[in-house]
Amino acid sequence: MKVYALSDIHVDYKENKRWLFSLSNPEYRNDVLILAGDLTDDLELLEECFHFLAETFKQVLYVPGNHELWVKRNPGITSMEKVGLIGDLAAKCSISTEVFHIGSLSIVPLLSWYDFSFGEPNEKLTQNWVDFRACKWPAGMDELALTQHFLKQNTQLEITNETVISFSHFMPRIDLMPSYIPEAFHYLHPVMGSELLEEQIRQLKPQIHVYGHSHVNRQITLDGIEYVNNAFGYPSETRITRKELLCIYEG
């Protein structure tokens, strides 16, 4: 059995959807896929992807990303209500959002958001970050409150096994961003993730943590934990993404 990591497929792009649906069913039938968010904000398309992936892999483990929580197509609901709809849809399609155990391996999904702990947003970010317009939250909930709300749902942080893998959509620490990323993009740091997420990862003590969101593929060990990003990214992002599944465990 192999465990593969993938995130940020953005199947609204035809090229990305074509790649996803080209994955071979027999080749991966005994394997597990960690899907770390950002498939699409379209619930019908999300269901189509869920059904295909559930048939392709032995088990698919999933957390939503920020794009899934956009409600531009669903003006009658809040993003918090959409979280519930996505959870119901995942269960309907046999996609797991829970802790997964198989033998000596445990895989732990971690919900999260961003809370500006990586920096304060400037005017450029405030004006251009789509979440600020496409997400709709209950009154009185700022980014810190949202992050705390999602983190409170990560209750299984005492799991021990021979191998523990955790995964989130958002980044747990900003030093995961490679130094070669131009300074012109540093204004995005405030919406990349949360230091509070890293605190939970340190409590869990996994061997590997998979994250998405940044669209910058990376494998690096920091303070004893291997951090892995295998975002598929937008079609134009060929220099920072490998555009293929990445096996992170075999056993």
The per-residue pLDDT for 50 is 99
Chain CA centroid to CA 132, Å: 19
CB-based contact 47:87 (threshold 8 Å): no
CA 154 – CA 167 distance, rounded (Å): 11
Place of tokens 């119901």: 88
DSSP H helical ranges for the chain: 14-20, 25-28, 43-56, 79-92, 123-128, 131-134, 143-151, 195-204
Q: Which domains does the chain have, with CATH numbers?
A: 2-250 (3.60.21.10)
What's the half-sphere exposure (Cβ side, CA atoms, 13 Å) at 43? 19
Q: What is the DSSP string of 40-78?
A: -S-HHHHHHHHHHHHHHSSEEEE---TGGG--SS-TTS-
The per-residue pLDDT for 180 is 94
The residue ranges of the chain whose pLDDT is under 50 are none
The per-residue pLDDT for 24 is 84
The amino acid at residue 105 is L
Instruction: Round the CA-based radius of gyration of the chain to a whole number and report it.
Output: 17
